[in-house]
Amino acid sequence: MRSKSEQNRGFLNADESDKRLFLCRGRMRKLFCAIVLGGILSGPGLRDSDGQPSLLNRRVIQRVEQEDVVSKDTVRFENGDVLTGEVEQVEAGVAAMKPEMAENELAIPLDAMKEILFKDVKVEGSFAADRVVLVNGESVLARVEGMRKDKLSLLLPSSQRAELNVENVAAVAFFRSEEVLAEENFDQGLPEGVRFEGGRWSVRSGRLVQSDPSATECFACLPVTQFGDVVYEWSVNTAIGGSTGIYFLASGPRLSQERAYFVRVLRKYLYVYACINGDEVYCGSYRISLHKSINDVELRCDADRGLIGIWMDGTQVGLWKSGAPIRAGKYVILRADGRGAFDNLRIVRKKGAVRPEAGDDRGSADRLVLVNRDVIMAKVREISQNAVSLAGSDGEDLQEVEREKVLWVRFARELKPAPVRRKGTGVFLTRSGDRISGELMSLNEEVARMKSGLAGVLELKRSDLRKVIFRETP
């Protein structure tokens, strides 16, 4: 029986010679991609029709290591030492810590620490949080209760109520519940709205089948709007023919994509590609163990951060970090080269608030992006629990847009990058991937009180914190 850490390795069942060959090939691939992309990226930067930066001038997917489950609080010191145990509280710049291998409690000055990594905890319940992005690019999760005049009223997961100056806020993304984007078991014949090209597609015994063994580049295209945190699940028969795969976050309805990710399964390997302006850039592969002919594949894609997790038959086989995250897509494409069979297709957008796309909106109007990706340019006057109010054409009358139809609001104001060095402050990283910097004022079993230069004093739930990285002092 393999341990969980062994199951989660990037390539499974490989001996040492295989690993050395894989690493060598990985270096060659990186060199090849750098050479090929160097020619592509030498052109000027472009923007797509939906306002996203083009995939030109971006890096492709990179393999990332998975973090082990942390069962104890861990303190790393400036001198390289590491101490595990329980950080019980922080007060007046001193942390009280009970070390794992000692009986007596220690008092440790925060100035001696490089970072605190908090143990993983099981989070009970759910908090429907919006995402507030500050003008320095940092963000925090909180429920937006309203905006009137120059104040944004928030309710934090810690139950603290806070008010922010609107001039310090760059954007607000609203919480959306989990939504099933597509679900098809192919039990009722060919689904409506699906476009087929190449091969012989049909439904047999409750599966979508491409039955021409000599046909290649055969696809079934589904129109599906995708953004945020999306899970893709499907079953594939790996024993009847050639390779099968899926294009996701695809910009167009055909195989030649301006931008998309492509994952395909061929024999005992799973391959990952980034599609850039019609070309498929090979990014790497994972060795997989197939113990049966019908296999379940799952992709968990955080489109905003470019994190792509890959599962096969319930075991994680890969985790990727895209240096060029694709933020949204309009299509999902199933592909078969030779015979192939698909079943149990399910695409779900998980609940949460997306990350507003960066923009250079200084000097223009505020921007509302709707859930269908339409854009409204107008001055945002107020935000209530039900609507976003916009200034009318005369600048006085208010027009309302239902809040549930708004994906995010981006204010037209200058961005101010956070300083790299500030004495006495730390960077608070949350398990949601958000970060905010400030002074750690106090910490107990429930909350951490921190003071941000832009957001004031905030109380963050300790269970939501992944780590605090203390900034270097000048």
pLDDT of residue 472: 59
Q: Residues with Cβ < 8 Å from 12, sequence gap 6 or more?
A: 6, 286, 287, 288, 289, 315, 317
Q: Are 467 and 118 in contact (CB under 8 A)?
A: yes
What was the pLDDT predicted at 14?
36
Q: What is the pLDDT of residue 365?
A: 85
Q: How far is the C-alpha of 431 from the C-alpha of 414, rounded, in Å?
A: 28
So where are the chain's domains? 4-65+178-349, 73-123+417-470
pLDDT level of residue 372 (50, 70, 90 thresholds): confident
Could you report the per-residue pLDDT of 185-204, keeping only the tens digit for each?
998 888 888 999 999 999 99
The fold adopted by the segment(s) 4-65+178-349 is Jelly Rolls (2.60.120)
pLDDT 10s digits, 424-443:
789 999 999 999 999 999 99
CA distance linking residue 186 with residue 203, whole number of Å:
7
**For residues 156 and 101, which has the higher predicted lDDT (pLDDT)?**
156
HSE of 203 in the Cβ direction (CA atoms, 13 Å)? 13
Residue with tokens 């079943």: 343
pLDDT number for residue 191: 82
Q: What is the pLDDT of residue 392?
A: 67
Between 116 and 395, the more confident residue is 116
Tell me which of 122 and 8 has the higher pLDDT.
Answer: 122
pLDDT (tens digit per residue) in 12-55: 233 333 333 333 334 434 333 333 333 332 333 333 433 343 44
Q: What is the pLDDT of residue 363?
A: 57
Mean model confidence pLDDT for the chain: 83
pLDDT of residue 57: 36
Question: Which pLDDT belongs to residue 349?
Answer: 96
Tokens at residue 467, please?
A: 């780590």
Summarised one tens digit per residue, pLDDT across range 385-424 is: 999 999 866 656 678 999 999 999 999 988 887 665 567 7
pLDDT at residue 61 greater than cutoff 80: no
C-alpha distances out from residue 132 to 331, 400, 434, 465, Å: 29, 21, 10, 17
DSSP code for 53: B
Q: What is the pLDDT of residues 240-274, one digit of tens each?
A: 768 999 999 999 999 999 999 999 998 788 999 99
Give the per-residue pLDDT at 288: 87
- Whether residue 358 is predicted with pLDDT greater than 60 in this model: the reply is yes
Question: What is the structure's pLDDT at 425?
Answer: 87
Q: How much is the pLDDT for 13?
A: 35
Would you say the CATH fold of 73-123+417-470 matches that of 4-65+178-349? no
Q: 124-128, 152-156, 319-323, 362-366: which has the minimum mean pLDDT?
A: 362-366
Q: Name the fold adopted by 73-123+417-470.
A: SH3 type barrels. (2.30.30)
- Count how many residues are written for the chain: 474
> CA–CA separation, 65 vs 8, rounded Å?
10
When pLDDT is averaged across residues 207-236 and rounded to a whole number, the result is: 94
Q: Is the Cα dihedral 370, 372, 373, 375 positive or negative?
A: negative
210 alpha carbon, distance to own chain's centre: 33
pLDDT tier, 103 (very low <50, low <70, confident <90, very high otherwise): confident
pTM: 0.79
Rg (CA), the chain: 25
